[in-house]
Chains A and B, each alone.
Chain A
Amino acid sequence: MRHRRAGWKLGRNTEHRRALLRNLVTSLIVEERIETTLTKAKAMRPHVEKMITLGKRGDVAARRLAAAYLMTRDAVDKLFDTISPRYGDRDGGYLRIVHGGFRQGDGGDIAFVELLGSEKTLDEKRQKRAELRTKRAEENRKAMESAEAENKQAAETEAAIEEK
C-alpha cells in the first residue's frame, strides 16, 4: 500500500532537498520559465504556489517569510511587485508544466515550468536572445573575413620579400 507516501523525496536528504527546491523556486520566479526534470517540476509546484500566496498577502510579515525561503532579494521583490499581482482572481494553478522529450545522456524526463501570464516576457526574452545570436554570428563572420584578408596580405608580402 502506498498510504502516507505523498510527495517526492528526489533521492536527497532533507537539507539537500530543501536547498534544491528553494533554488528551483527562486530560479522560476526570476526567470519565469525553467527547464528541469518532470519529477522536480511536480515537486516544486506547491512551493511556488505558497510563495505566490505570500506575495498576494503583501504585508511585511509575508515579505519576511518569503525572504526566508527565496535565495535572493531580487526574487522577493519581483514576487511581490510583478508576479503575485497577476494572479488576483486566481486561486492556485499558477504554473504550467509542459512535458518535453527525454534528455540525451541519462534519459531524464524533461519538463518546462512556466508561470502563467509570462508568455509575453518570455517571447521578448527569446527575441532578444535570437537577436544577440545573429549579432554574434555576424561579428564572428566579419572577424573571420578580416583574419583571412590579413593572412593573405602577409603571404603576399612574404612572397615579395622572397623575390627580392
Chain B
Amino acid sequence: MPNPKRRHSQARTSKRRSHDHLTAVSLSECPNCHERKLPHRACPKCGYYKGREVIAMKEETS
C-alpha cells in the first residue's frame, strides 16, 4: 500500500486550504422596494421583476 514518505507540515495543510472558501452571493438592489435580491430574479420581498410581474404577495395582516 502507498504510504506517505515525509511528514506533512501543518503549514502545508494550511496553505492548501487557504483557497477553500465560499464566495459571497452577489446581490442587486430591487428597483421597486430597494431590498437586496438575487439578480435576474423576481424580488422575493415585493414580487416585482422589470416593472410588474407580481408574484402575488400575501398582504400584511395587521
Residues of A at the B interface (CB closer than 8 Å) are 98-101, 112, 119, 126, 129-130
B42, chain A: closest CB distance, angstroms: 5
B45, chain A: closest CB distance, angstroms: 11
Q: Place the interface of chain B in its size category.
A: 10 to 19
**Is the CB–CB distance between B42 and A98 below 8 Å?**
yes
**Is the CB–CB distance between A99 and B56 below 8 Å?**
no
**Is the CB–CB distance between A101 and B41 below 8 Å?**
yes
Contacts of B56 in A (CB 8 A): 126, 129-130
**Is the CB–CB distance between B41 and A112 below 8 Å?**
no
9 A-B interface contacts by CB (under 8 A): A99-B40, A99-B41, A99-B42, A100-B42, A101-B44, A112-B55, A119-B52, A129-B56, A130-B56
Instruction: Summarize A's interface: helix, strand, loop or mixed.
Output: strand
Contact with A along B17-48 (1 / 0, CB 8 A): 00000000000000000000010111010000
Told that A101-B42, A119-B52, A126-B54 touch, could you supply 4 new A-B pairs with CB distance under 8 A?
Answer: A99-B40, A100-B41, A100-B55, A101-B41
A8, chain B: closest CB distance, angstroms: 20
Instruction: Summarize B's interface: helix, strand, loop or mixed.
Output: loop
Residues of B at the A interface (CB closer than 8 Å) are 38, 40-42, 44, 49, 52-56
Chain A residue nearest in CB terms to B37:
A101
A99 and B44 alpha carbons, distance in the complex (Å): 11
Contacts of A99 in B (CB 8 A): 40-42
Chain B residue nearest in CB terms to A134:
B59
Contacts of B55 in A (CB 8 A): 100, 112
A125 and B52 alpha carbons, distance in the complex (Å): 15
Contacts of A126 in B (CB 8 A): 54, 56
A47 and B49 alpha carbons, distance in the complex (Å): 25
